[in-house]
Every structure is written in C-alpha cells, then in structure tokens.
Chains A and B, each alone.
Chain A
Amino acid sequence: MGFQIDLTSLILPDQMADCRRVAVLPPGTRHTEWQGWADVVVTGVEPGVALSQPHLWRSVLSGQVLDPASLNTFWYELTHGAYGTVQRAKGIFDVADGRSLYFDFVAGLAETTYLELNLPLWCNGRPDRFSGIEVVGEALDQEAIAEIIKACCLEDHVIAYYQQQLRESVGEGIGSRE
C-alpha cells in the first residue's frame, strides 16, 4: 500500500476477520503509524530513488485506447525522468490491438517490459473495463504527463478501423479451426 492511503479508511469485511495485517516498509522505518496498524512488518528493499516530498499523481483512463508505439515512447520518457523524478509507476492500458497491458516500473530495479493481462481482446467500441495510471515521484509535471497521455489516445474512427481489422482476423481464426 502506498503512503497516500489513510489507515483509518482500511476497514476489513467481517467475513475476513481471521487475517493478519502485513505492512511492507522500507529499511529503517520506525515509529510510524504503520507499525501500530500492522501485525507483521516486513522490511522491503531500499527505494532506488529517495524522495523528500513524495507526490502521487493518478488518472483513470477507462474507455481510452492508446497507440502502442506512442505508449512506449511515453513510458520511456516518464520512467527516465522527462516529467520529473519517478520512484514508482504503474499503469493498465487498453491498446489498439484489443489487448489490455500492465506496465510496472520501480526505480533502481531492472527494467521490466509490459505484461499482457489475461483479458479478452476488446474489439467493439470503447473498452468498458478499468484502465489507468499511477505515478509516485517528485516535482512531477502533471500537466505535461496528462497532455502526453492525451496525445497517445486514439480517436473514435481510428479505434473503429483497428477493431474492424481485429474482428476480421479473429473471425478468420475461428473459420480456419473448423
């Protein structure tokens, strides 16, 4: 859980009463509200980038479909400091070929590529499922980030064009199996 979460808001459902609260904290964390809240404290790895004034920026993108090549450029720039220092970034994005992709970045850890989520290809209209982005960092140029994401998003007629192709190729796939 991130630093932005209000601990008093964490109310567990009754049927989950038989559980333990586990907090994963950076090395050297002492006397914080987390210690009081958790039953077990696990010491995690040192953050790759220390932030003096951590800031969280997030945006829900559900319904948006992104151009994959633009998304790659954006993700590279974001995680290499073009829009401020980034310690952690996560995103779920719907892309033009119908897939839902999961991006995960931790400063200081080996670069990871995206993961394809095990969800059906979305090939009819704007996706009615969650997508969004969350960035933890410092001195983030939120306006620029939002603007770039907007520039990566496809317009309705482009989405329709890709989905038409997608439906055709999926249709062919079914046909050839018969």
Chain B
Amino acid sequence: MKIAVMSCIHGNYEALNAVLSDVDNHNVDKIYCLGDLVGYGPHPNAVVEMIRALDIPTCQGCWDEDIVEGLNACECSYPSVLAEKRGKLAHEWTNQIIHPEVREYLAQLPLSLRDDNLCFVHGSPHNQHEYLLPEVDAFVAMERVLATGADILFCGHTHVPYVRSLNEGQLQIRVKSTGKLAEDMSFSAPLKRIVNAGSVGEPRHGRPNATYVIYDTNDDQITLREVEYDYQKTCAAIIEKGLPPIFAWRLARGMEFAERADDPTHVCER
C-alpha cells in the first residue's frame, strides 16, 4: 500500500492542488494530513473545503488550534518580536474570514491518528507546538516515538522535510525518586523512524516548491517529494487579499514567515 502524507498547507490552495495532482500520478492508496490547514496563506476556507471533500484523515495543527482556541502559541514558537507581530497579523486576518463551519471542522480534528504501526501527529506526540527538528537529541527523539507505540512517527510543523532513523540500541536509564535508591534499568529499543513531511504551502527549504512524502508499505520505502507549482498565483492572492506583501516575498523564496523555535531542544510546556 502507498500512503501519501502532507502537512502545513497554510491556506495555499495552489500548492495543495499541485500536490494532489502529484499524488494522483503516483497510484497512492491513502492520504493523511498532519494539520496547519490555515494561517498565513490567502485561501484558508478553500483549503479546508478541499480536504473535507476528499475525506482526508487530518490531525489538528498548531494554527488550526489557535484559530479555534484563540492565540495560544507559547512565545517559544516565534524566533523574534517581528515574527510574532507578523504571526499575529496573519492570525487576525484568518480569524476574520474563516467560515463558521470551517472553524467547527478544525475544532473537532484529533491530535493524532493511527494506522497499524504508523502514527501521525502535527508537531510531536506531546504537543502540536513542539518542534521535532532533525537535530533533536536522539534520546528525546526516541522517547517521542516510543510514547506512541508506533514504528514510524510522521510529523510536520518544522516545514523542512526529513527522514531520521533511530537505530536499534541499548538504552540505559537511571531512575531516582526522592527517598528511594537510584534504580538502573536498561532496555533495547527497536528500529524506529521519524518522518517529517515538510510543508505544502509554506516551505522553508530555500525553494518555493511544495513538499510531502510517500510511504510504500510493501518495500518500506519513504520518498520525499518536491512539487513545483504556480507560486506567483498565491503571491498575487496574498497581496490582493490585503495580507502583508512580505509574506508573498518570502513565499517566493522558500523562506517561512515566522514559525520556528530558535532552540531545537526547547520543549514547549503548554
């Protein structure tokens, strides 16, 4: 079976369409979406309608949550004062134009999805706002995968795709609780993988192209896909709809607008 996994569409309808056509060309059996359907881009309603029309199982992203709950992102989500101000502008704009039924749909999205030995989340199994960057400490990364009980953890949120294999190894831990002697434990962890699907609508890999992944369960192959699309159309729509023009400038260069934690090891406490 072939499974396509996409994330972080961020209201970019053109990019979503291009990715869906690419998926069509690859005889994919099933599509999963890791959230962030809205935010920054000019077509949040159209994106959600498309995902719903195709009945794509989707988990809730950080932006989807914020549109439902009000801005809730911990300051750690923003690398700078400027990024935070831009994020707020995008949030207010999206909040105003989003249809009530779209908001309802975003509100009921699950935080994670399971399919056999695969788990799908937006940021990390702990939190939609947590960044599982490729350089995250191997022990922390392993803990996140083990917490799900799955063999492959699919995530998004960082907007840069990657595949990380956590090879089987022996883990030694020492548990020390107050009033008790430290207890040494060791266990062996099997091969686990973290697959980041990148971003359909707001890439941050230096090119404007959309990214997503295809996982083939038959041969256990993971393919990172990079899809060209008419990003100029999205840029024009950003300006036409009155979003900050700098969003269009950054989109055309494959530079994300705001979302990035400076400290990859920072664990969001929210």
Residues of chain A whose beta carbon lies under 8 Å from any beta carbon of chain B: 67, 69-70, 72-74, 77, 80, 82, 144, 148, 151-152, 154
Contact = CB atoms under 8 A, between A and B. Distances in A.
Contacts of A152: 81-82
B81 A154 contact: yes
Interface of A is mostly: helix
Contact of A148 (B82, B253, B262): B82
Nearest to B262: A69
Given A69-B82, A144-B246, 17 more contacts: A67-B80, A67-B81, A69-B79, A69-B83, A69-B262, A70-B80, A70-B82, A73-B80, A73-B83, A77-B246, A80-B253, A148-B82, A148-B246, A151-B81, A152-B81, A152-B82, A154-B81
Contact of B249 (A69, A77, A151): A77
Interface of B: 79-83, 85-86, 245-246, 249, 253, 262
B85 A151 contact: yes
Q: Which 6 residue pairs spanning A and B have beta carbons closest together? A: A69-B80, A70-B82, A67-B81, A70-B80, A82-B249, A70-B81
Contacts of A80: 253
Contacts of A70: 80-83
A70 B246 CA distance: 14
A73 B82 contact: yes
A154 B80 CA distance: 11
Nearest to B79: A69
A114 to B, nearest CB: 16
8 contacts: A67-B81, A69-B79, A73-B82, A73-B83, A77-B249, A144-B245, A144-B246, A151-B86
A67 B253 CA distance: 24
Contact of B81 (A69, A77, A82): A69
Nearest to A154: B81
Contacts of B80: 67, 69-70, 72-73
Contacts of A67: 80-82
Nearest to B245: A144
Nearest to A147: B244
A152 B86 CA distance: 11
Contacts of B85: 151
B88 to A, nearest CB: 11
A74 B249 contact: no
Contacts of A154: 81
A77 B262 CA distance: 19
Contacts of B81: 67, 69-70, 151-152, 154
B231 to A, nearest CB: 16
Contacts of A72: 80
A72 B81 CA distance: 11
Contacts of B253: 80
Contacts of B86: 151
Nearest to B249: A82
A67 B84 CA distance: 12
Nearest to A66: B81
B200 to A, nearest CB: 23
Contacts of B83: 69-70, 73
Contacts of B249: 77, 82
Contacts of B245: 144
Contacts of A74: 82
Contacts of A148: 82, 246
Contacts of A69: 79-83, 262
A82 B252 CA distance: 11
Nearest to A69: B80
